[in-house]
Amino acid sequence: MAIIEQQPSSGGQITGWDISEVCPAGAHVAVCLEVKDTMDVTRPRYEDPSTMEIVNLTRFLFGIKGMDGLNHRVQTHDLKISGHEKSALIGFLTSWTAKSLDQMIGWNYEEMAGQPAMVTIVHKTSQKGRVYATIASITPVVPQLLAQAPKVEEFAVPPADSQVKQDATTPAAVPQTQTINETPSVFETPAVAQTVDESKTIEEPPF
């Protein structure tokens, strides 16, 4: 579960999904295929990269049907699990659902798996010269386009990066209950409504 909680909360590896294709750029009617949380990730602080912080992160995986008639998948960058009103996660969910922050407190956002969305995809090039797709913005789907939303069962959900690398003899870790901390953090990156703030993401997604 991924619950947004009102009360404040007091080293894992950043994971995504193993996606080889590059989703076509442009505006698409999409469906959320899966939500994945990664707990206790150790990473450099945004304000001071010389120091480390431990954070909980989440990602969303979407499926679209391109103009070529083929199914494509695209994932968000890592979003810090936080209930701060200016956090990237709250901005992302607000743009998608039009829910207020108060409505999100205590809400399990993993319920968005299987829900449609209008996403704008852009292509970026990493420092290594690798082109990848990322979600630049997300909004609700207007009623006139809901019939165009693809179905989850039309897509194959790729394995998570951690599952690909995990030793087959090692049992998978039991997922923790994921919560969102509403306490403000000076290391949060403000999220602009209807726009995914990527200023804190790594240059090349780990998938």
What is the block-wise mean pLDDT of the chain (207 residues), using blocks of 10 residues?
Answer: 50 67 95 94 88 94 92 94 92 95 91 97 92 95 96 88 42 44 39 39 40
The closest alpha carbon to 34, from 72, 77, 63, belongs to: 63
Report the predicted TM-score, pTM, of the whole model to 2 decimal places: 0.73
Q: Identify the pLDDT of residue 105.
A: 87
